Amino acid sequence: MMNIELSLEENKGLKDVYLTNEKFNRHHTGNKIKLMPFVTNNDKLSQISLDFKSFQGVVGECFRLSKFKIFDKEFKGDKESSFKSKLKEYVLTNALNKIDSNRKEEFKNIIINLFFEEDAGLIKFNKQVLPFMNFTIEHTQLNETARFFLRHIFR
């Protein structure tokens, strides 16, 4: 596990580098602590900002990487349907194929109400569901963030 120490008082400590008269004096880009594995002031990051706010995709990717699993290509999002909707359809189809009933539509509604959010996202009711969290938009920097956390923080 990586050990990080932040000194407040010493030479080159937080007060020396960042504070003047107990006030934050200037902005420093990441030359001291590498928190993210890419430049965070990149204009291209605006398209993936929702993924960073929710962080669900990064969490899901960390779980998948730790278990050496990947999603089947059929779950890849496209212009017509998202990952969430494809996963929901997959779960519903498999569940409905396993029952013998003349009330399949009612059973389908029960599954939807118990396990899915309004936006078709899977409700996080158990840690076994976490690997099914995914990015809204597939982006290299999001995948690298998950690998970075797994490599440097969780090991």
For range 75-87, the mean pLDDT? 74
Give just the sign of the alpha carbon dihedral 127, 131, 136, 142: positive
Of the listed ranges 13-17, 94-98, 99-103, 107-111, the one predicted with least confidence: 13-17
Nearest CA to 36 among 154, 135, 155, 141?
Answer: 141
- Hey, what's the torsion of the CAs at 115, 121, 124, 130, to 10 degrees? 120
CA atoms of 91 and 122, how far apart (whole Å): 10
Answer whether residue 87 shows pLDDT above 80. yes
User: Residues 45-76: pLDDT tens digits?
Assistant: 676 777 777 778 888 888 888 888 887 777 76
Nearest CA to 3 among 30, 33, 31?
Answer: 33
Q: How many CB atoms lie within 10 A of CB 97?
A: 9
Average pLDDT, rounded, for the chain? 77
pTM of the complete model: 0.60
Give just the sign of the alpha carbon dihedral 124, 130, 131, 137: positive
